[in-house]
Structure 1
Amino acid sequence: MLPAVEDYRALARQRLTRFAFDYLDGGAEDGRTLSRNRAAYEQLIFQPRVLRDVTRVDAAVQVCGETLAMPAVVGPTGLNGLYWPRAEEVLARAAHAAGLPFAVSTASTSLLESVRAATDGALWLQLYVQQDRRIAEDMMRRARALGFSTLMLTVDTMVHGKRDHDVRNGFRMPLRLTPKLLLDLAMHPRWCARMLRQGGSPQLVNLARSAGVKAQLQAQAAAMSRQMDMSLDWAAVAWLRRHWQGPVLLKGVLSVDDARTARRLGVDGVVLSNHGGRQLESAPSPLEILPEVVDAVGTGLDVFVDGGIRRGSDIAKARALGAKAVLLGRAPLYGLAAQGPQGVADVLQMLRDEFEITLRLLGVPRAVDLDGDALSADHRARLARL
């Protein structure tokens, strides 16, 4: 096991092609939102208590009717086949071995059916909605039949954010062979060999199956990018309820008013998210707005956060500010790209170990008891100054 998530990131950078690593690691435009996500965690200071019995630590929490071994969910992330063959199956098995749910993206490169066949653990579905809502309806139907428990509707991708790194690299799906790309591929023969073993470029197979499009990446990418339903509004909550009987979460909420509306309409939870800094530049960090949202919605809505989690202590900070759990996006993918299945398992174990160390050093042996008392009294002021 490497010392930290950052070490897996560094190794992933070596082993991935430039365009694949930039797609994983980069943010929108100048990357200010991406940096803001990390800065929010760095600004928070703990207030530990001493002389408390921490012989035993219980990191588990209850979320959406499920017991999580620590306050975290793995995923959702798309195009994971760029980093390792059958990536979703690998991620799901590692998540379940760690006692965590795995959220499968609409933009996954493995079928829902294949992920379910790989593991019997808890699976969640992340949903993008195209103009033809029958595609989303079919995906929900498939997920229900496979026993997926929770639906997560992403609400911040009406259009794709501008990602300068993709433009510089000429990255688009399907890949177009240019001299620059050929040089990039030639410098990463191991990555090319893995892609060839899985049959070439990863495919958006879930979208293809539910959309009924050809097994061609160009057609799949068109269905994903140019046909997003930009008319999606709050009436979509009632539509989702007609097709999904389990918990429904909205991912991409960044305002108190939207959280209040979600609670009023009977949504089970919200994920405070700026899409990992990949959509709107100069958006707030989810951690910045977490205390205000939790104060506003009380106990009537489960609140999650994502973006910038690199340490178990980051998970503790989010939980102390009122989050039910965090979503782990890039961190497990760094492990995947660096060392495959073992890398994912190591990253999740590392985060669990760090989280439990943090609980002991804070003098809070149970994750369910972690609250704002574990943070310095001026923690909100620190966030406000970002």
Structure 2
Amino acid sequence: MNPWFETVAEAQRRARKRLPKSVYGALIAGSERGQTIEDNQSAFTELGFAPHCAGPIGARDQSTTVLGQRVSMPVLISPTGVQAVHPDGEVAVARAAAARGIAMGLSSFASKPIEAVIAANPATLFQLYWCGDKDQILERMARAKRAGAVGLILTLDWSFSHGRDWGSPVIPETLDLRTMLRFAPQTLARPRWLATYLRSGSIPDLTAPNMAVGGGPAPGFFGAYGEWMQTPAPDWADVAWICAQWDGPVLLKGVMRVDDARRAVDAGVTGISVSNHGGNNLDGTPAAIRALPVLAEAVGDQIEVLLDGGIRRGSDVVKAVALGARAVLIGRAYLWGLAANGQAGVENVLDILRGGIDSALLGLRKTAITDLTPDDIVIPAGFSRALGVPTGEKDSGKRDFTKDGSVAAAGARH
């Protein structure tokens, strides 16, 4: 089989054929019935393009600046937890991102230490969960700063839903002999995945080395999650405290409401990521792209606005940027590439997105990604969702809101 694939959908197909059932299930899972994860993708199909028929057709410039980092295209690696799809995990992803000139987001619950990941890609942002007491949080932040992290991603868009209508994917707590025997039928059914680990001389690592504190050992994957679940949720004062302590770019991930976006500005964040945690938070939350236009209009002149959720094509990236995103973060897409062909598979996915962005810019007759505007997009009436807009603003006539919080004719372009 040719190791190169032409679409993200093909990367997903190869990942499904290569990975044990439970590992693949963890990649595609969404909370409860999967309403939000489905809307994250299908919402992009409701948006169209309004191309020009004449104009410049020279080279297209996809580069931009995000959180102080110059990137070759408006795509960043979204932090995802233990990447057991490949033995090189986050290091392979970081190398691929560096090779393609984009920034890397590293999860607190990653399987590789932050020092190794930053060595592979100096443009790494460390994702922080509000986990443990403030001294522990400060210790993790200090380690990230010493390692050279260029920014912080504070993730608040997750409340840990166990419920999935098709059954939660089975993820073992440890990989002892008993567990290995239990999962042996799944593993033996995927010999190529097993062979990759055997050649590396390792087994899937279910520890979280970046969560270690006080000189103690790294906790197990579920031990780290258990600590997070038992930590009281942060308030806006805590967000401001994080910004003050980090003294650098902070991206707040998980904003879906206008009132929250404005509080984030007041707290001192550098940017927000419009995100519903890839459909793994509260099912029934609208697609991130539906919330983007209103949020970009509300705070886009004060902070950077990014989008995370549902990106599968370069044209999706272009739609998001045209509607106000500085850049997008991708998750499942690069994990499927990693599963399909390691570092080269991640590079393959990034090249697919780059090619799709270029094609869309060419069709729109744009010479730079920064030239995009909402006028390049066909936005159907009722597409956008205006969440958390004060009642006074809804009644002010600035926008035409429907009863369900969607934006009607105002803002729709045909």
Question: Shorter chain as normaliser: what TM range?
Answer: over 0.9
Displacement after TM superposition at 1:303 (Å) = 0.7
Q: In the alignment, which residue of structure 2 is the partner of 1:29?
A: 32
The residue type equivalent to 2:152 in the other structure is L
| Residues 161 and 280 in structure 2, CA contact (< 8 A), matched pair in contact too | yes
Cα distance in 2, alignment partners of residues 95 and 75 from structure 1: 11
Secondary structure (helix, strand or coil) at the match of 1:200 reads coil
Q: Secondary structure at the match of 1:103?
A: strand
Quote the residue 1:322 is aligned against. Answer: 324
Superposed displacement of residue 42, structure 1: 0.8
User: 1:124-168, CA deviations, whole angstroms, 9 ceiling, x for partnerless residues?
Assistant: 0111121323332222111111221111100123x4122437955
Which aligned pairs between 1:97-112 and structure 2 lie closer than 5 A?
A: 97-112=99-114
Q: 8 Å contact 2:57–2:365 — kept in the other structure?
A: yes
Question: CA separation of 1:342/1:277 partners in 2, compared to 1, >3 Å: closer, same or farther?
Answer: same
Provide the secondary structure at the position in 2 that maps to 1:235. Answer: helix
- Segments of 5+ residues of structure 1 without an aligned counterpart are none
Is 2:35 the partner of 1:19? Answer: no
In the TM superposition, residue 205 of structure 1 has moved relative to its aligned partner by 3.4
Partner of 1:160: 160
Contact 1:316–1:358 (CA<8 Å) still a contact in 2?
yes
C-alpha separation in 1, matches of 2:168 and 2:257: 32
Residues 63, 37 of structure 1: CA spacing in aligned structure 2 closer, same or farther, 3 A cutoff? same
When Rg is computed on C-alpha atoms for both structures, the one with the higher figure is 2
Higher helix share: 1
TM-score normalised by L of structure 2 = 0.86
Structure-1 residue corresponding to 2:80: 77
Instruction: Kindly state the Cα deviation for residue 362 of structure 1 after the two structures are TM-superposed.
Output: 0.8
Q: How does 1:307-386 map to 2 (within 5 A)?
A: 307-376=309-378, 378-379=379-380, 381-383=382-384
Q: Give TM-score scaled by structure 1 length.
A: 0.92
Counterpart check, 1:144 vs 2:145: yes
| 2-structure distance, mates of 1:95, 1:282 | 32
Q: Which segment is superposed worse, 281-290 or 235-244?
A: 235-244
Counterpart in the other structure of 2:60:
57
Provide closer, same or farther for how the CA distance between residues 67 and 178 of structure 1 changes in structure 2, counting only shifts above 3 A.
closer
Aligned runs of 1:1-386 on 2, under 5 Å? 1-80=4-83, 82-119=84-121, 121-157=122-158, 159-164=159-164, 167-174=167-174, 177=179, 181-196=183-198, 197-210=200-213, 212-215=215-218, 217=220, 220-228=221-229, 229-376=231-378, 378-379=379-380, 381-383=382-384
Q: Summarize the Cα distance change of 1:133–1:195 in structure 2 as closer, same or farther, 3 Å threshold.
A: farther
Q: Is the 8 A contact 1:61 1:71 kept in 2?
A: yes
Q: Which amino acid aligns with 2:133?
A: D
Please state how far the C-alpha of 1:340 moved relative to its aligned partner. 1.0
Q: Deviations over 1:317-359 (max 9, x none)?
A: 0000000100011111111001111111111011101101110
User: SS in structure 1 opposite 2:305?
Assistant: strand
Distance (whole Å) between structure 2 residues aligned to residue 293 and residue 149 of structure 1: 25
Paired residue secondary structure (1:282): coil
SS at 1:49's partner residue? coil
Distance, in Å, in 2 between the alignment partners of 1:227 and 1:65 is 29
Give the corresponding residue for 2:411.
none
2:392 paired residue number: none
> Aligned AA for 1:256?
V
Measured after TM superposition, the shift of residue 50 of structure 1 is 1.6
Q: Tell me how far apart the structure 1 counterparts of residues 34 and 166 of structure 2 sit (CA, whole Å).
A: 13
Q: 2 CA distance for matches of 1:265 and 1:227?
A: 22
CA distance in 2, matches of 1:247, 1:322: 19
| Unpaired stretches in structure 2, ≥5 consecutive residues | 386-405, 408-414
CA deviation vs aligned residue, 1:194-251 (integer Å, no higher than 9, x gap): 345353231333244336553563xx42232344422311111232134211111110
Distance of aligned partners of 1:330 and 1:198 in 2 relative to their CA distance in 1, 3 Å threshold: farther
Task: Kindly provide the amino acid, as one letter, of the partner of residue 267 in structure 1.
Answer: V
Letter in 1 for 2:143: R
Q: 1:195 to 1:215 in 2, by over 3 A?
A: farther
Instruction: Tell me the CA shift for residue 57 of structure 1.
Output: 0.7
Deviation at 1:256, TM superposition (A): 0.8
The residue identity in structure 1 corresponding to 2:234 is L
8 A Cα contact 1:31 1:281, kept in partner: yes
Tell me by how many angstroms 1:278 deviates.
Answer: 1.0
3-state DSSP class of the match of 1:124?
A: strand
Residue pair 1:44, 1:383 contacting (<8 A) in 2 also: no
| Structure with more relative contact order (C-alpha pairs < 8 Å, separation 6 or more) | 1
In 2, the alpha carbon distance for the partners of 1:216 and 1:291 equals 40
Deviation of residue 89 (structure 1)? 0.9
How far 1:381 sits from its partner (Å)? 3.0
State the one-letter code of the partner of 2:59: R
